Amino acid sequence: MGSLVRTGISLDSELLARFDQTIAKKGYGSRSEAIRDLVRGLAIASDVTQNKVVVATLTVVYDHHRPNLSERLIEAQHHYYGKVLAMTHVHLDARNCLEVIIVKGRGTEVQELADHILSLRGVKHGKLVITTTGTRLK
Amino acid sequence: MGSLVRTGISLDSELLARFDQTIAKKGYGSRSEAIRDLVRGLAIASDVTQNKVVVATLTVVYDHHRPNLSERLIEAQHHYYGKVLAMTHVHLDARNCLEVIIVKGRGTEVQELADHILSLRGVKHGKLVITTTGTRLK
Amino acid sequence: MGSLVRTGISLDSELLARFDQTIAKKGYGSRSEAIRDLVRGLAIASDVTQNKVVVATLTVVYDHHRPNLSERLIEAQHHYYGKVLAMTHVHLDARNCLEVIIVKGRGTEVQELADHILSLRGVKHGKLVITTTGTRLK
Amino acid sequence: MGSLVRTGISLDSELLARFDQTIAKKGYGSRSEAIRDLVRGLAIASDVTQNKVVVATLTVVYDHHRPNLSERLIEAQHHYYGKVLAMTHVHLDARNCLEVIIVKGRGTEVQELADHILSLRGVKHGKLVITTTGTRLK
């Protein structure tokens, strides 16, 4: 990891005032922190485009009364053994479950795993979030 | 509009190096210009949340052989008279048309107009882009 | 283009009731029309993934007082001659302009053109919408 | 929950052929399952617009060497006690952590919690996924 550096940016004073207002509402403590977040977002989007290794979380809601679905979800995760880092299960109510599956791999592998799981019969909804391994982002 | 001001931001040297690489690939001439774009994007998202006046473009693809569709599209635009600034029509091939409708209004009004047009029978695809009037964004 | 066919789908009665409610609010005249829209959206997303020929609109807001910007925008569009189908210009106020550039090409070409234009100094905001040529989508 | 019903939809034979191709690639077992997923997605988007109770997962990547950050993350979650259902922590490497925070609440509450956490200094990246409680979606 690198050292902390400072860089200057120039922008219109009104645009800056609106920026300050927006980030205050979101709770940021400083301009630098808010801009770092924007810059990191750009870096992650660029990792995805270049099919680099990313970390992702797949959120899935399903009905565990559906025959064999839990088994097929476990099976799918084992099929991608080595890519799945962890899984958390929450009991939403008597029937409904939410699972978050945390995976690490190239963008295309992660997408394939998500497509496979989201297409299982009985999965009500799901979404993939792609983020960073953190190592190249400070 | 305000005057140009400079502000300093501090961030990790490696994050900055990745930022420089990404924006060079995208063709930006300076860091300031790229950061201004990120900051403007945040301001526009905040305008939408607060239902401020925005400018938007609605892109629509449809088959003009579909009976009455052209009429209904024109009618819908006149119904929102005062909000529709302009419309461009491109002949994609013998049957298919693309129209871009440029509108100005509060976020909710613009969304209603888009819902109305996109739900017309025969509209093959459409998407709404929300942007800024430019006046508060330099 | 093919002929009109019917297919049956089975789904939960409550999910169907919510669907009917949502599409009524959006103004759809029939379930078939609303489902065709969802299906077309999936087809277009799949075209992008496979880098097929798409039609796209690039919405750009800029300040025409910015020296040389109009020239550089025109130049950029001529550089991609053969891909740019049309352009519409709206005068938002004394300074601000909105342009919609309609392009046709492979997903990656269209993205490159958008990156190039959006990174020009003085472009305040812009967004790319990717849609279909219409020929393979009825 | 309701009973299973069948509804017929009519669409162009070529559009249907493309749909079949796309969903086969994604691994769906039947058209009904794929269309149910599209319909559920629409229902969830509509819940968010109407500020209904949703379930959401917030994925966060951060460096645990950052002073006090872990404490502030825990504190933030306790502040929203009653909304946070569970949290999972994964050690990505010697410095980097990924946390997935599972929350339940109205759309605006969930967004506020996410804004608060994502603006903490030292959080490298984060993203909110909004999904359903499952009860009204079969």
- Whether B10 and chain A come into contact, CB under 8 Å, resolves to yes
- pLDDT per residue as tens digits for the range A3-24: 889 998 998 888 899 899 999 9
Confidence at residue B57, expressed as pLDDT on a 0 to 100 scale: 95
DSSP B132: -
Positions of chain B with pLDDT under 50: none
Does residue D40 share a domain with residue D25? yes
Asked if residue B138 belongs to a domain, the reply is no
Contacts of B14 in chain A (CB under 8 A): 1-2, 136, 138
Q: In this structure, are D68 and D123 located in the same domain?
A: yes
Tell me the backbone φ, ψ of residue A129, rounded to 5 degrees. -115, 125
Residues of C in contact with B63 (CB under 8 A): 134, 138
Instruction: Please check whether residue C136 lies inside any domain of the structure.
Output: no
Residue A109 lies in a domain: yes
* Alpha helix positions (H), chain A: 13-26, 31-49, 69-79, 107-118
- Per-residue pLDDT at C14: 86
Q: How much of chain A, in percent, has pLDDT values that exceed 70?
A: 97
- CA A125 to CA D41: how far, in whole Å? 7
Q: What is the pLDDT of residues D44-86, one digit of tens each?
A: 888 888 888 999 999 999 988 888 888 899 888 888 888 999 8
For residue D3, tell me if it sits in a domain: no
**Tell me, what's the pLDDT at D136?**
67
List the single residue in C40, C88, C93 with the smallest CB-CB distance to B125.
Answer: C40
User: Alpha-carbon distance B53 to B47, whole Å?
Assistant: 8
Under 8 Å CB-to-CB from C37, ≥6 apart: which residues?
B118, B119, B123, B125, C28
Q: Whole-angstrom Cα distance, residue B128 to residue C33?
A: 19
* Residues D59 and D125 reside in one and the same domain: yes
- Domain containing residue A36: 13-49
The model carries a pTM of: 0.80
A6 neighbourhood in chain B, CB within 8 Å: 8-10
Question: Does a structural domain hold residue B58?
Answer: yes
Comparing C-alpha atoms, which of D49, C97, C76, A23 is closest to residue B132?
C97
| A32 within a domain of the structure (yes/no) | yes
Please, are residues D54 and D106 in contact by the beta-carbon 8 Å criterion?
yes
In the stretch 40-79 of chain C, residues with CB closer than 8 A to chain D read 40-43, 46
The residues near C89 (Cβ < 8 Å, ≥ 6 apart) are C97, C98, C99
Rounded mean pLDDT of D14-32? 90
Q: How many CB pairs under 8 A join B and C?
A: 151
Domain count for chain D: 2
Residues D76 and D114 in one domain: yes
Do A65 and A107 share a domain, yes or no? yes
Output phi, psi for B75, to 5 deg: -60, -45
Across the interface, whether the CB atoms of C2 and D18 are under 8 A apart is answered no
A42 and A66 both lie in a single domain: no
Q: What is the pLDDT of residues A36-64, one digit of tens each?
A: 989 988 888 888 888 899 999 999 999 88
Residue A4 lies in a domain: no
Q: What is the pLDDT of residue A1?
A: 53
pLDDT at C1: 53
User: Is the domain of D17 the same as that of D77?
Assistant: no
| Minimal C-alpha gap between B65 and chain C (Å) | 12
Tokens (6 digits) for D129: 């996924």
- Are the Cβ atoms of A6 and B5 closer than 8 angstroms? no
CB contacts of A133 in chain D (<8 Å) are 61, 92-93, 96
Q: Which residue has the higher pLDDT, A134 or A76?
A: A76
CATH number of the domain encompassing residue D111: 3.30.70.1150
* A92: nearest Cα among D104, B42, D118, B80: D104
Identify the band that residue D1 occupies on the pLDDT scale cut at 50, 70 and 90.
low
pLDDT at B1: 53
The pLDDT score that the predictor gives to residue D57 is 95
Using the Cβ of D85 and the Cβ atoms of chain C, whether some distance falls under 8 Å is answered with: no
Closest residue of chain D to A54, computed from CA coordinates: D92
Q: Is the pLDDT at D40 greater than 70, yes or no?
A: yes
CB-CB under 8 Å, B40 with A15: yes
| pLDDT-flagged residues of chain C (< 50) | none
D57 and D106 share one domain: yes
Report ipTM (2 d.p.).
0.82
Residue D94 touches chain C, beta carbons under 8 Å = no
How near does any CA of chain B get to the CA of A41, in Å?
10
Residue A96 lies in a domain: yes
Q: Are residues B28 and B60 both part of a single domain?
A: no
Give the residues across from C120 on adjacent strands.
none
Residue A14 has a pLDDT of: 86
Helix (H) or strand (E) holding B110: helix B107-118
Same domain, C44 and C65: no
* Mutate: best of A3, A14, A40, partner B, most B CBs <10 A: A14
**Contact flag B138-C27 (C-beta cutoff 8 Å):** no
Instruction: Please tell me the number of Cα atoms within 13 Å of C29 on its side-chain side.
Output: 6
pLDDT at D43: 87
| Claim to verify: residue B84 and residue B127 sit in the same structural domain | yes
Q: Are residues D60 and D127 in the same domain?
A: yes
Output b/e per residue, A18-38; b: 16+ Cβ within 10 A: bbeebbeebbbeebbbbbbbb
D24 → chain C, closest CA residue: C46
